[in-house]
Amino acid sequence: MHVFERFTGPADQVMCLAYEEADRLRHDYVGPEHVLAGLGRQEHGRTSGILQAAGLNVEAIRAQLDRLVDAGMLPGPWRSNSELLHGLGVDLSAVRRAVEDTFGSEAVCAAHRRVLGRSRLREDRIVCGSPLSGKAMLAKRALSLASKEADGMGQDDIGPEHVLLGVLRDAQDPLGSPRPGRRIRRIRAHLGLPQHGPSPVRLVIEASGTTLHALRAEVLAELHAAS
Amino acid sequence: MSELRPDEVTGLAAATRSQDPEVGLAAVAALRALVEVLETLQVDNARAKGWTWKTIAEQLGVSKQAVHQKYAGGGLFRARR
């Protein structure tokens, strides 16, 4: 079963919020750092409670992410497709509206998938995160680790707690370890993301004075208390 | 040095960046990705309307073989739909 099909309603909501957080930074991808911000934004969540108790409310997370953008460890807003095309005099939102009005958003998505499918077969084409639909998904490893956390607890559903555990586990390894495939490395380079160094999630969490291990212990204690 | 207003700063930054190959190349890649999707949409639409590969190729200004190979696929490397 696909990871997303196991997501509970609140976990789905976290991913929607993560997408919005990526939008806020005008990033053309969704990474673990946006998922962390999404987790912090969720209202009435056990996970956001844990994050807040550790000094990681959404404002603090956003401030840290902005700092990483300034430090060049995350791409700046000018790196987004819409800004790059704007620099060439192309209004991407107008193009999107025009083609969606003509062909419908489903056809636009289908065309985008076809282009991506071709890019996998032809190594010379660099097409990732089409300007017209969607963002590149770079949080796959964190989410697959989240599903392993749920598996380890014998739970079918993946909730926000598992997502946080997956994000924390993913952040323990520096960027580029284990070495991602050539396609992911190319997408990261194209998006202006570093290939090495500590994970942004780790930097955000440690900037608030806590550690990945301490947060993990908090989540596990919370899950244990609830069961 | 007199202080710059915020809009002057962004204007300056934009002017500096427009000379930066990183920006220029990334912009071209974004434009190319956009063109790929638009071309796919138009070719699919034309085929759905019964256009031949020859007429499509003529409108795109490329050879019939080029458009057929890219969109109809060449057996082994056929694009999955």
> Which residues of chain A are within 8 Å of residue B67 when distances are taken between CB atoms?
none
State how far the alpha carbon of A155 is from the alpha carbons of A7, A44, A97, A147, A159, in Å: 11, 22, 42, 9, 10
Query: Which whole number is the average pLDDT over B4-30?
Result: 71
- Which pLDDT tens digit goes with each residue over A136-171? 889 999 999 999 999 999 999 999 999 999 999 999
State how far the alpha carbon of A227 is from the alpha carbons of A137, A148, A221, in Å: 32, 18, 10
- Written as one letter, the residue type at A73 is M
Q: Which residues pair with A30 in a beta bridge?
A: A137
Could you say which of B18, B36, B38 has the minimum Cβ distance to residue A87?
Answer: B18
Percent of chain A with pLDDT strictly greater than 70:
93
pLDDT at B71: 86
- Which pLDDT tens digit goes with each residue over A79-126? 999 999 998 899 999 998 999 999 988 888 788 777 776 654 443 333
Distance in Å, alpha carbon of B61 to nearest chain A alpha carbon: 20
Tokens of A131: 């300007």
Residues in chain B whose beta carbon is closer than 8 A to a beta carbon of chain A?
14, 17-18, 22-23, 26-27, 29-34, 36-38, 40-41, 44-45, 70, 77, 79-81
**A190 inside 8 A of chain B by CB:** yes
**CA distance linking residue A115 with residue A117, whole number of Å:** 5
- Which pLDDT tens digit goes with each residue over B34-47? 998 899 999 999 99
| Subunit contact B70:A118, Cβ cutoff 8 A | yes
For A138, list phi and psi in degrees, rounded to 5. -115, 15
State how far the alpha carbon of A144 is from the alpha carbons of A2, A5, A153, A222, B58, in Å: 10, 12, 14, 21, 47
| Subunit contact B27:A88, Cβ cutoff 8 A | yes
Under the banding of pLDDT at 50, 70 and 90, the label for residue A134 is confident
Q: What is the ipTM of this complex?
A: 0.76
Under the banding of pLDDT at 50, 70 and 90, the label for residue A216 is very high
Rounded to a whole number of angstroms, the CA Rg of chain A reads: 18
**CA distance linking residue A113 with residue B41, whole number of Å:** 11
Tokens of B80: 């999955």
Tokens of A138: 């770079």
pLDDT at A128: 46
- Which pLDDT tens digit goes with each residue over A161-206? 999 999 999 999 999 888 988 888 988 998 999 999 999 999 999 9
Query: Which whole number is the average pLDDT over A36-64?
Result: 94
Query: Which whole number is the average pLDDT over B15-29?
Result: 80
